[in-house]
Structure 1
């Protein structure tokens, strides 16, 4: 790309923003070298790498890139036999660790089945070099100092040094603490001069301590003297330090030689880590801009939805929609100054360059960008004082260069085409330039003030008018781009708003020829139609959103009901299963008791026991996972009367009629409750047959037999209460004096209800729990009056 084009489209300023997201000098160098590519396969690969970086950030929040350093210079010096210092070795170890940690990070994501094919390929080429990292870390601490443990010799030398230093300080402290020496010292401290321990002595007492003078104060009143008593020990310390330096250099030389053995691997690792840092810098920049990955094409088709200029603050930028290269290849933008025409040009140009650089662009999902071989731009006042060129000459020089190179694979951006000269000639020249660019097959976006160009797109099949909107009421531009509508002058409207007399405005209008008036009226009509269409679209959008919201609410409610239904069915099945198990357990218990009786009385036959067991098993309810639809009750006219079994619709419960109060009202008993119910709220179910009274247990008919016991196990509470009421009446009619009501143990609710009903029943003389040989707490024995 031409350097001037990159400058006028502010590509370098965009790169400065990108630099803020690099984690190392490696990434910053890659960003500094970044240039748009014209190869669509390469651009697609770059875009996908950025996408994988944003995917990692979306899933993990960040990527571990700390510790990575640019170690290339140190590695190359080690390659030629140079001695690396401890800090350089520490940076090499840190970079090895950073690469190993990032490699492990990506491998963990891959184990979680996150698809990162490009990053997977990059980290596969990073070699951990754990041996080299370990050797360096064992010899160099985090502050870049060689450790005592680096070698036994170094440990011994440093132990001696500490011993010498301790001895020297002990002797000097004895000297400065001596009462006889206090007046001879300028200050009672121990200091260092020329790597030797000394004390500050007053000038007049220079011979009191012997030894050597190493320094003096600025005034000369104080001498820094090494007393004779510590000269030998200072000499020993100096020799130890020389030995330490020699041993440290030997250790660093060994580590440098170890580094030189892995030069190629280290340089390759650094190259991969530089690419990683570059990828995540782009990903972080994309996240900051809320950018998306655009689709790419070779056909020169641009389709940007809600495009935003990345250099304008997010709270100030106005998104625009731009389409070019499909139905039309030239877009002519008209409108007032400061209305946003130039920003539109720069947005289109800069986003194209960013996309071709592998960067995501600040647009909505679904946007599409073409990969152009060339991008040309003539934007702004590039007047050259040195060349004595006017504004028009400067622009025309650029345009001439552009026309010499433009082809069908180019994007051309012209700002204020033809400006700076006579309006008539400038407009004619602008039309000729537009026609020439169009004939080359290039994609073109141009801005202009000339009214002659407002009708240009109407006469060219491959051109389209556009304008930047201006609010006449506030006298401010809205910065919105309107495709298909040329810009209006607004000069008369603005003048009227500012208070210019109407007669002056009318005289000015009379000076404009009829063609211009017709164009202005046409533009005004287009604007009115556009605003009406936008209002309709907005209303339709609101209706659609409301409908979608209602649909989502209905779907959510339906899902909730289905889940609740499934939960109720599961709970009911579990409850029924428990009831069946309880019933079978109770039946087995009864069978065992019968067997015991058989042994004792010899009156119960084995085949009777087997038959009883079979009947009990067959009586067990069969569970179904799906609820069968009950047939709707047939509406038949039936005259309700006392004794009828009915359903109270408002409660959904069954009961029976006690008496008729009036034609529209009956007294109904539901369980132990009695209430008045309207006729319309009753549904007839059945009328119980009359039971013929016969002596004791011989009461028997073709289809009726009153047993001396009532089994309520597995019954619902309300149904059980009704059965007890009916059974007691039947038992009285049959002449029983004692009966049993089997309710089982279960939760105790059914037993409690039976006890409560028997307590208040008019025919019950006494009720008691059955004995252990009669069924225990699961059976209640009732004595009847």
Structure 2
């Protein structure tokens, strides 16, 4: 009932189809041999339940097959040796297969005889195969198992079909112990095969999950590397813009100091200028070292001469900007600082006290040199009150009008560097303001803000 006869017929039909040049209904990359003769002994009334052929009819066909068989023949024998005494039939079947093998023919034979199954296990170039059968459902699974002898399952099938239990038990007592052991071995072999197949399926599933996890991990690593490279590049660009801005502002300050020195050659003022230059060069070198976020930075050891308190003039090391403390240090050691137009919270470890005496000395020297009017070195708290204008929320026309009025006011006050706050938004107001500044006769240069100034949300302009 497992499909042995159907398998023989299928094998013969596919071979004949290939010899006739027909397409075969098989899986891709399948292979098949071509023979000059296909010799078959399958009864005319054969079905998958029973054989209606007699022993004499079988022998008549087999005699003709032996006379015709050669090395280019495919021989298909169904229920070889059946229809007579099982012991004699099994012995005769083995002898027939050995004679056909001596001729070089390729043989596919079906049988239920345990002797023939043992012969296949012990003989070279002879291989067992079986058609898998589900005893629980009494249905074949249509799986051909190569290398595994099949169990006939006569008792199980008879019981499922309704044969009385006592008949089946009596039949079991009539089987020799040797045959019983052989059938038990086949049953255990089949159980082991099924268990191995389940384990293989589980191993294949786990292997597929592992490959999928490995693929997902590799994709995540690649994505993380790209994000890290992009963040490092952005950080480096911001750091370079900070350094460039600091260099430009410092160079401008040094030029103004040089002009003042030429006008006032006093020994005291020259010392102040040289000191400012030394501090500038030291700060620029330090800024270039600490501004690179990829390398990181080592905080210098600094012990303030006294505790920080509200109102102190300090230097914010991170920004290289001076500011005023707006609060005393909190429990976490952080303070709020006003640095120009920007308010920020920084740890006290990033602050340095500024010498107010030295600052007042430079301011007095400036006022004396410029007739009492400070033009360049102004107190940042005063400059912040008038050096920026906020246009956020205004239309383009209103913004341009306010900028013109503001530039006129700054020229009257002597302010040369102004900050125009236009916000980021869609960028329309920023583009209109910068286009207007490009054509303004009193604007020397302008640029976008850098880190700490508002970046793309502000425009820094220098007036003539």
**TM-score bracket relative to the smaller structure:** 0.5 to 0.7
Shift of 1:457: 1.3
- Residues 644 and 688, structure 1, Cα contact 8 Å, conserved in 2: no
Q: 1:493 to 1:744 in 2, by over 3 A?
A: same
For residues 37 and 382 of structure 2, the distance between their equivalents in structure 1, rounded to whole angstroms, comes to 99
Q: Deviations for 1:267-293, whole angstroms, at most 9, x for unmatched residues?
A: xxxxxxxxxxxxxxxxxxxxxxxxxxx
Output the aligned Cα RMSD: 5.2
SS of equivalent residue, structure 1 residue 369: coil
Shift of 1:479: 2.1
Q: 1:547 to 1:707 in 2, by over 3 A?
A: farther
Task: Indicate whether 1:630 and 2:294 are aligned.
Answer: yes
Q: Which of residues 88, 101, 104 in structure 2 aligns to 1:441? A: 104
Q: Which of residues 174, 198, 216 in structure 2 aligns to 1:535? A: 198
- Residue in 1 aligned with 2:442? 773
For residues 726 and 366 of structure 1, the distance between their equivalents in structure 2, rounded to whole angstroms, comes to 87
For residues 342 and 467 of structure 1, the distance between their equivalents in structure 2, rounded to whole angstroms, comes to 11
Q: 1:523 to 1:750 in 2, by over 3 A?
A: same
Task: Indicate whether 1:467 and 2:130 are aligned.
Answer: yes
Q: Which of residues 397, 417, 430 in structure 1 aligns to 2:60? A: 397
For residues 359 and 636 of structure 1, the distance between their equivalents in structure 2, rounded to whole angstroms, comes to 88
Q: 1:498 to 1:370 in 2, by over 3 A?
A: closer
TM-score by length of 2: 0.56
Shift of 1:685: 6.6
SS of equivalent residue, structure 1 residue 368: coil
Q: 1:772 to 1:460 in 2, by over 3 A?
A: same
- Residues 120 and 128, structure 2, Cα contact 8 Å, conserved in 1: yes
Task: Indicate whether 1:738 and 2:415 are aligned.
Answer: yes
Q: Deviations for 1:322-363, whole angstroms, at most 9, x for unmatched residues?
A: xxxxxxxxxxxxxxx3x2112222333333444455555433
- Residue in 2 aligned with 1:364? 27
- Residues 135 and 153, structure 2, Cα contact 8 Å, conserved in 1: yes
- Residue in 2 aligned with 1:588? none
Q: 1:520 to 1:697 in 2, by over 3 A?
A: farther
For residues 482 and 673 of structure 1, the distance between their equivalents in structure 2, rounded to whole angstroms, comes to 82
- Residue in 2 aligned with 1:525? 188
Shift of 1:497: 4.4
Task: Indicate whether 1:662 and 2:339 are aligned.
Answer: no
For residues 6 and 32 of structure 2, the distance between their equivalents in structure 1, rounded to whole angstroms, comes to 18
SS of equivalent residue, structure 1 residue 448: coil
Shift of 1:638: 7.3
Q: Deviations for 1:481-502, whole angstroms, at most 9, x for unmatched residues?
A: 2222222122223344456665
TM-score by length of 1: 0.36
Provide structure 2 residue ranges, at least 5 long, that are not aligned to the other structure: 47-51, 246-291, 309-313, 368-373, 388-412, 448-459
- Residues 770 and 777, structure 1, Cα contact 8 Å, conserved in 2: no
Shift of 1:521: 0.9
- Residues 660 and 667, structure 1, Cα contact 8 Å, conserved in 2: yes
Shift of 1:541: 0.8
- Residues 468 and 487, structure 1, Cα contact 8 Å, conserved in 2: yes
Shift of 1:429: 1.7
Q: Deviations for 1:231-256, whole angstroms, at most 9, x for unmatched residues?
A: xxxxxxxxxxxxxxxxxxxxxxxxxx
- Residues 465 and 485, structure 1, Cα contact 8 Å, conserved in 2: yes
Q: Which of residues 342, 346, 352 in structure 1 aligns to 2:9? A: 346
- Residue in 1 aligned with 2:394? none
Shift of 1:688: 8.7
For residues 636 and 349 of structure 1, the distance between their equivalents in structure 2, rounded to whole angstroms, comes to 91
- Residue in 1 aligned with 2:404? none
- Residue in 2 aligned with 1:379? 42
| Structure 1 residues 597-608: aligned runs within 5 Å | none
For residues 350 and 670 of structure 1, the distance between their equivalents in structure 2, rounded to whole angstroms, comes to 95
- Residues 378 and 399, structure 1, Cα contact 8 Å, conserved in 2: yes
- Residues 315 and 354, structure 2, Cα contact 8 Å, conserved in 1: no
Q: 1:544 to 1:512 in 2, by over 3 A?
A: same
Provide structure 1 residue ranges, at least 5 long, that are not aligned to the other structure: 1-336, 384-388, 584-627, 648-653, 700-705, 710-723, 756-767
Q: 1:361 to 1:751 in 2, by over 3 A?
A: same
SS of equivalent residue, structure 1 residue 738: coil
User: How many correspondences in the alignment?
Assistant: 340
Q: 1:688 to 1:639 in 2, by over 3 A?
A: closer
- Residue in 2 aligned with 1:225? none
SS of equivalent residue, structure 2 residue 32: strand
For residues 655 and 356 of structure 1, the distance between their equivalents in structure 2, rounded to whole angstroms, comes to 97
Shift of 1:780: 4.2
Q: 1:737 to 1:380 in 2, by over 3 A?
A: farther
- Residue in 1 aligned with 2:147? 484
Higher RCO (C-alpha 8 Å, min separation 6):
1
Q: 1:487 to 1:727 in 2, by over 3 A?
A: farther
SS of equivalent residue, structure 2 residue 175: coil
